[in-house]
Chain A
Amino acid sequence: MSDRIRGPRIGRSEAAQGYLLVATPLAYALLLLAVPLGAIVLFSFWSQDYLTIDTTLTLKNYREALSDPLYRQLLLRSLMISAAVTAATVLTAFPIAYYVSFYVPPERKAMWIFLITIPFWTSYLIRVFLWKVILGYNGVFNTTLLGLGIIDEPLTFILYNANAVVITLAHAYAPFAILPIFVALEKIDRSLHEASRDLGEGYLSTFWRVTLPLAMPGVVAAVLIVFIPTIGDYVTPMLVGGPDGRMIANMIQTQFLRLNNAPMGAALAVLTMAMVSAVALVFVFLNRRFLRGRQ
């Protein structure tokens, strides 16, 4: 982005022109994102006193969130489900990105990417609901397997639990994982592969020692862009999760809209963000050698 910035200097300085342009979107983000995020942190240190909010600063909500097994279990489960979704999504997405980047003829790549992104843009609620239809007791999956005689009675471990949440979210976030990996693979200089093969490496070791390390920035981006939003997903756990598949977003919603305990909800939201940021930072740190020397 930064290498083609040197333009003609007409009138005001470049920096001033840049600030002038970016001022409106920046003000919007400050007012409607930074300020509210600050507010929610502040809120989490207040407490609900029946109908009014007690604005003396206290750690009460955090103490409760971390000591009550219900909250602790929800936080931990959300983290586990998110991790499972991320692993499933990125691992299944990689071969697709690899196929499109290395084997699809250049003029048809855009069409493949378009095909992959279409389902993502169709109604999220309806897609999640349809997974309920697919995975249900009398669902498409079970009736098909029964019809084919592969199973004798419907499978029950695929709906109303964490598995269903993982399958549904892996489906919903597929393009988010495929696109960054695809972009990273596209950037790889193809002559590196020829060099590796000429120097006697086999197909697999070329992949392992040349392709994969160069694709890692894309993989890291894919992991982050799947892991961080999924932990806050509300619809999927609600529709297909059942009691054992509920996640933290469901509790945050309950605190805000049902129990009228906004400070507790805020504390849970802050804890979720803190947890997710910590895991994301550790992940980036572990992969730092792949990211060095790039943006």
Chain B
Amino acid sequence: MKRPLRVYAILYLAFLYAPIALLPVFAFNDGTVIAFPLRGFTWGWFEQLTEIPALHAAVLNSLKIAVSTAILATCLGVLAARAATRFAFPGKKGVMGLIMLPLVLPEIIVAVSLLVVLLQLGLSLGAWTVILGHVLIATPFSIAILNSAFQGLDLSLEEAAVDLGETRLSSFRLVTLPLVMPGIISSLLIAFTISLDEFIIAFFLTGTEPTLPVYLWGQLRFPQRLPVIMALGTLLVLASVLLLAIAEYARRRGAARTGQKDAGGFL
């Protein structure tokens, strides 16, 4: 059974990577139509990227939102993961279920329900409303990552610190925090990536300042803009892969530090 399964696995990986593999092919293709046959090599589309002010504004807006989301979601994630792994309290399952719910909720439901409330309250849409929505959907991912970081902790380390005269807070800061730091870094990066890539919630809640995906969505309608989008996509993929590689490295180091068996995976 091993050989056919291996062939299948490799074909499946090819299927998973097919769209991404095409990105650079068209990003460097010297033709305006996104189709075969290819025309020749050019850097032109990348050069054009530097000349679009609307794109730069969207990138800045997205970065601002993604950084805020990463920090807020990770803070909420630390609190929830610490509570879930360290303490027993009545109704824990229900509480954690509610917090983790956005993981399975269709994003459009999250988007429209937030929109309805914000508009009813008469609040104006903008970057901050997108941040509110993104924190909601990124927190469950942060919790999932941080849960495994906190679970790997040996409780006796903290007890030892307390026995040696540290307060609960200082033992958390001096003992627990350094041990879960790789998990925190991993959570920051994942939340950042989720926010940077999220479209639907941003589409509904962004108001007049588009985020990068909302800007991209607008551009997909113009065929002559597509090669530039391919160039942009190539850069985005490179950035995501880099961030993920760092997140994965941090997660593994964290697993090693707390003496866990490395099971792999973010979810």
Interface residues of A (CB under 8 A from B): 1-2, 4-8, 10-11, 14-19, 21-22, 24-26, 28-30, 32-37, 39-40, 43, 92, 95-96, 98-100, 103, 109-119, 121-127, 129-131, 133-134, 136, 138-140, 143, 171, 174-176, 179-180, 182-183, 186, 203, 224-225, 228-235, 239, 249, 252-253, 256-257, 262, 265-266, 269, 272-273, 276
Contacts of B37 in A (CB 8 A): 143
B60 at the interface (CB under 8 A from A): no
Contacts of B164 in A (CB 8 A): none
Please report the C-alpha to C-alpha distance between residue A18 and residue B80 in the assembled complex, in whole angstroms: 9
Q: Is the CB of B19 within 8 A of A130?
A: yes
| A160 CB to nearest B CB, Å | 15
Please report the C-alpha to C-alpha distance between residue A8 and residue B115 in the assembled complex, in whole angstroms: 45
Q: Is the CB of B237 within 8 A of A33?
A: no
Please report the C-alpha to C-alpha distance between residue A174 and residue B20 in the assembled complex, in whole angstroms: 15
Q: Is the CB of B5 within 8 A of A98?
A: yes
Q: Is the CB of B109 within 8 A of A272?
A: yes
Specify the chain B residue showing the minimal Cβ separation from A8: B159
Contacts of A26 in B (CB 8 A): 80, 95, 98-99
Specify the chain A residue showing the minimal Cβ separation from B88: A5
| Pair count A-B, CB < 8 A | 280
Which residue of B213, B237, B263 contacts A110 across the interface (Cβ within 8 Å)?
A: B263
15 contacts between A and B (CB under 8 A): A5-B88, A14-B89, A15-B88, A21-B82, A22-B83, A28-B76, A37-B109, A40-B109, A96-B9, A109-B264, A113-B265, A130-B233, A140-B22, A140-B36, A175-B267
Which residue of B90, B106, B216, B262 contacts A231 across the interface (Cβ within 8 Å)?
A: B106
C-beta contact mask, B98-114 vs A, less than 8 Å → 1, else 0? 11011111111110111
Please report the C-alpha to C-alpha distance between residue A286 and residue B217 in the assembled complex, in whole angstroms: 40
Contacts of B204 in A (CB 8 A): 253, 256-257
Which residue of B15, B87, B104, B197 contacts A5 across the interface (Cβ within 8 Å)?
A: B87
B13 at the interface (CB under 8 A from A): yes
Q: Is the CB of A92 within 8 A of B109?
A: no
| B55 CB to nearest A CB, Å | 14
Choose, from B41-49, B63-71, B177-185, B240-248, the stretch at the interface.
B240-248
Specify the chain B residue showing the minimal Cβ separation from A238: B217
| B150 CB to nearest A CB, Å | 10
Please report the C-alpha to C-alpha distance between residue A139 and residue B150 in the assembled complex, in whole angstroms: 48
**A25/B80 contact (C-beta < 8 A), A1-B85, A4-B151, A39-B117 known:** yes
Please report the C-alpha to C-alpha distance between residue A272 and residue B106 in the assembled complex, in whole angstroms: 10
Please report the C-alpha to C-alpha distance between residue A165 and residue B1 in the assembled complex, in whole angstroms: 32
Contacts of A11 in B (CB 8 A): 168
Which residue of B8, B19, B90, B197 contacts A99 across the interface (Cβ within 8 Å)?
A: B8
Q: Is the CB of A33 within 8 A of B110?
A: yes
**A114/B264 contact (C-beta < 8 A), A1-B85, A8-B162 known:** yes
Specify the chain A residue showing the minimal Cβ separation from B162: A10
Q: Is the CB of A95 within 8 A of B9?
A: yes
| A167 CB to nearest B CB, Å | 9
Please name 5 further chain A to chain B contacts, defined as beta carbons within 8 Å, in addition to the given A29-B136, A122-B20, sorted by A numbering.
A21-B87, A39-B120, A100-B9, A114-B244, A123-B240
Closest 6 pairs (CB-CB, A-B): A232-B106, A18-B87, A110-B264, A18-B89, A36-B113, A130-B19
B56 at the interface (CB under 8 A from A): no
8 Å CB interface, B187-211 against A: 193, 197, 199-200, 203-204
| B47 CB to nearest A CB, Å | 20
B28 at the interface (CB under 8 A from A): no
Which residue of A8, A115, A269 contacts B113 across the interface (Cβ within 8 Å)?
A: A269
Please report the C-alpha to C-alpha distance between residue A127 and residue B230 in the assembled complex, in whole angstroms: 10
Q: Is the CB of A126 within 8 A of B229?
A: yes
| B154 CB to nearest A CB, Å | 10
Contacts of B17 in A (CB 8 A): 119
**A228/B105 contact (C-beta < 8 A), A121-B197, A130-B19, A257-B204 known:** yes
**A269/B109 contact (C-beta < 8 A), A96-B12, A123-B237 known:** yes
Which residue of B13, B76, B155, B197 contacts A116 across the interface (Cβ within 8 Å)?
A: B13
Q: Is the CB of A125 within 8 A of B216?
A: yes
Contacts of B220 in A (CB 8 A): 125, 129, 239
Q: Is the CB of A113 within 8 A of B264?
A: yes
